[in-house]
Each structure stands twice: as structure tokens, then as C-alpha cells.
Amino acid sequence: MINRVMISELAFPAFLVGGALAFEQFMAPARVLFGQVSDRWAINGRHRTPYIWIGTAGFCSLACLSIPIIFRTADALQNGSSGLITAWIFALCGLFALYGLSISSASTPYLALVIDITNEKERPKVVGIIWCMLTVGIIVGAIAISITTKGLDGITDPEILEKTLQSFMNRVALIIGSVVLIATAGIEPRRSTAQSNSRQEKPVTIGQSWTIIRSSRQIVIFFSFLLCFSLGLFLQDPILESYGAEVFGMPISKTTLLNAYWGSGTLIGLLVAGLWFTPKFGKLLAAKTGCWMILCSLLLLISAGFTGSTSSLAIVMVLFGISAGIGTNSALSLMLDLTLPQLAGTFVGIWGLAQAMSRALGKVIGGGLLDLGRALTGSGQELQAFSFVFAIETAFVLLAIAVLGQLNTAQFKRDTETRLETLLMASLED
């Protein structure tokens, strides 16, 4: 919704919108640090939940602060001097950078906690449940935004937009903070100081962690797959609602529902993949199937623009969501398999880094490609400009499929476990 408001209502350049939002993911290297910190240092006997709570408090507060900064930046772009414009752009990027740090400090320990309390057989179903609940949140959020902003259809007055959006964001932040606190309270057992210190007899250092990571070609392959897969899935993320606005003529309350359609499809895809498809056919085949389905959905997304039918767009978004659900479940299941329990936080940080980097690049490249597409096709050719972005996105999906063909989870485990054993033996000798 914020993407659409900035691009279509406040006339931000799409490249600026994508670039500013990408700063959230540019902070992704911090995921590795937060993972290692949660591995090694407990707070009040717990390694994961305190970091989840601290991060949640941070991103909820920053989400509320984002609204006034966005509108002050819009004022500067329209009426300010170059110095004022630069200052507010820096403020906008800085806010999303801090938001990214908060997300990293909450999400990496959370996924590490999943590894702590599940075994390999349970994880596909657990991943399915987690992403189903995430998707339910997206659906509920999209519907709530649609209802809340229904009175804004056709209104372009920034003052009214800001007031309504600020009120909505404050309520959302309060609800999300409360849900996170209730959901995680008591799920991680408290350890005594002695138990916490003995979690690893001799903790693996940061330097040793990187040595293990560099030792396996399979880590590089999966890292590359996550980059391409996420780009293929999210390159359209910063421009999708503007696609609905400029090509299909949809108002704010209707373009927000695109997330509900997408989320409903994702929920179906996650359930199908987690409960049946991935366990029956294997994670690699499920991941490849999801990628091919995403590619077909992107082609259908372009085709829907030629029809101009909003109902066709809704159907395509559901199909795109189903494809994303199948691909995401299998990719995350692979991610958890390609993680050593002794270095859960570190490896989750590495995989989170790959995904976040690609989402950041997706926002920057997606916005930039839209501006480029507009420049190439000229004014009044909105469909061609957006189709240019979607076509580039399909190329990344094809590359993800090619990279996935090189992945071998058994080889990963042989390489990394052997390397870990060697390093730990060397540490004991020291």
C-alpha cells in the first residue's frame, strides 16, 4: 500500500521508492551477527525470545514513524530546495535501514528457535504452518487496509491521506506487538547459567563459522538459488499495486486487495506443499515445480494487462500466490535442511542474508526497470513499461531453475559436518 501511495498518489520516482524500501534488506548482513549473538549469549537464560521481543519493539515503533517521514519527503520533493530534498531522502532511507536492523534482530533468532525445537522430519510441516500464519496476516492486513481506506478512493489530498494512514499504522503496530509477545511467551525453555554456558562445550567462533561456510560449494549454490528465486518472486513487489492503478484503473481500496488475492493463493500453495506435495515428491522437485509455476504466472500477469480485466488480474494473483506458496515452502524446507544445528543462528543468518539481498535488489531494480520501461516506451504506454519489468523477472526464475539443478543436500552435510568436526578437534587440541 505504501509503495502505491508513494508512486501513484505522491508522485515519487519509482526508483526512489524501490531504493528507499530496499534499505530494509540492505541491513541483511546484520542477520548473521544477530544469529551468532543469539547462538552464544543468552538473556535471562534464553537465547532466542529476548532478541525477538527487542526487534519487534523496534520495527513496530519505526513503522509508525514511517508515515510522517514519507509525507515530509513528499513535501520536500514538491516544494523544497535541493538541500532539503537530500536531507529528507536520507531520513527516509535511514528509517528503513533501522527498520531492517529491527527485522533482522527479530526474524533470525525466530527461525533459529524453529530449528532448536523441531527435528528434520517435522520441519516441512512446521514451515508450512509458519508461512500459513504469515499469509493469513497478509490477507487480514490487506482486507483491513481495504476497509480502512475505502473512503480515500479518489482523494489525493496528502493531509487526509497522512492522517488516515497514521491512525491505521498505529493500530497495526499495537496489534502486531501484542501478538508477537503472546505467541512467543513461554515457547523457549529457560536455561540455567550453567546450561546456557554448556550449550556448546566450546563455541564455534565467527572466524570458524565463515571457514565452514566457505568450505562447501553447495552453500554457494544454494545461496545463488535463493538470490535468483527471490528476485524472480519479488521484482514486481514495489510496482504491483501501481500496475493495478495505472493499467487497470483501480482505486487504493481495490489495489490493496491484490495482496489478499495473492495471500489466499499463497496459503493454498503452502498447505498443499507442506502437507502433501513436498513430503510426497521431495523438496527439490517441489522447488523446481514452484519455480515453473511462478514463471507461468508472470506470463499470465502480462496477459491480464492486455485484457484490462480486473477479474482476470485477481485470478492471476491467486495463481501467482499458489505458485509462490509451493516454491517458498520447498525452498525454506531446503534452507532448514542445509543448516547445522550447532550453527543454527549463523546459517539462518546466511540464508536470510541471501533472501534479503535479493529482495533489496528486487525493490531497487524493479523500481528502476519501471522508470527505464517508461523512458523506452514513452508516455501513455503503461502496460508496455510494466510488462518490461515482468519479462526481466521471468529470466531470473529460469536462472533459479538452472542453479537448483546443481544442488545436492547430501553433499552439503558431508562437507560441512566433516569441516566442523575438524575445527572442533583443532580447538580442543589448542
When pLDDT is averaged across residues 390-398 and rounded to a whole number, the result is 94
Find the mean pLDDT for residues 366-374.
88
pLDDT in tens, 75-130: 898 888 888 999 999 999 999 999 989 988 888 888 788 878 777 777 767 776 77
CA distances from 310 to 74, 238, 296 (A): 30, 19, 19
Contacts of 61 (CB under 8 A, 6+ apart): 173
- 49-53, 59-63, 122-126, 216-220: least confidently modelled range: 122-126
Query: How many angstroms separate the Cα of 350 from the Cα of each of 18, 29, 369?
Result: 23, 8, 28
> Hey, how many other C-beta atoms are within 10 angstroms of the C-beta on 171?
13
User: Cα 260 from chain centroid?
Assistant: 16
CATH number (domain holding residue 227): 1.20.1250.20
DSSP letter string, 299-320: HHHHHHHHHT-HHHHHHHHHHH
Cα–Cα distance for residue pair 94/91, rounded to 1 Å:
5
Instruction: Measure the CA–CA gap between 167 and 179, rounded to whole angstroms.
Output: 19
* H/E element, 389: helix 382-404
Cell 514513524 belongs to 65
Cα 97–Cα 99–Cα 104 angle in degrees, nearest 5: 95
Measure the N-to-C terminal CA separation of the chain; round to a whole number of Å: 56
Please compute, for residue 392, the number of CA atoms within 13 A of its CA located in the half-sphere on the CB side.
Answer: 18
**Does residue 379 register a pLDDT over 80?**
no
Q: Sign (positive/negative) of CA torsion 292, 295, 296, 297?
A: positive
- Comparing C-alpha atoms, which of 88, 59, 17, 66 is closest to residue 362? 17
Least confident of 7-11, 41-45, 412-416: 412-416
Higher pLDDT, 122 or 420: 122
The residues pairing with 266 across neighbouring beta strands, listed in sequence order, are none
46 φ/ψ angles, rounded to the nearest 5 degrees:
-125, 135
CA gyration radius, the chain: 22
Stretch 19-34: mean pLDDT, rounded?
A: 79
Does the structure show a pLDDT above 90 at 402? yes
CA 354 vs. chain centroid, Å, equals: 11
Residue 284 half-sphere exposure toward CB, CA atoms < 13 A: 11
- Tell me: the pLDDT tens digits for 300-347? 999 999 998 999 999 999 999 999 989 988 887 887 777 766 666 667
Residue 422 has pLDDT above 60, yes or no: no
Question: Each residue of 228-277: pLDDT tens digit?
Answer: 998 898 888 888 888 998 899 888 778 888 888 888 888 888 888 878 88
Number of domains present in the structure of the chain: 1
Q: How far apart are CA 367 and CA 323, in angstroms?
A: 23
Distance CA 233, CA 30 (A): 23
Cell of 85: 530534498
How many angstroms separate the CA atoms of 268 and 132, rounded?
Answer: 8
Residue-level length of the chain:
430
pTM score over 0.75: no
Q: Which domain holds residue 343?
A: 2-429
Q: Over 90: is that where the pLDDT of 392 sits?
A: yes
The amino acid occupying position 139 is: I
Please give the distance of CA 363 from its chain centroid, rounded to a whole number. Answer: 11
CA distance 361 to 358: 5
Q: What are the two backbone dihedrals, phi and then psi, of residue 57, each rounded to the nearest 5 degrees?
A: -60, -35
pLDDT in tens, 287-303: 999 999 999 999 999 99
Is the pLDDT confidence value at 395 over 60?
yes
Residue (of 323, 325, 32, 365) closest to 206 by Cα position? 32
DSSP states of 194-225: HHHHTSSSSPPPHHHHHHHHHH-HHHHHHHHH
Count other C-beta atoms under 10 Å from residue 311's C-beta. 9
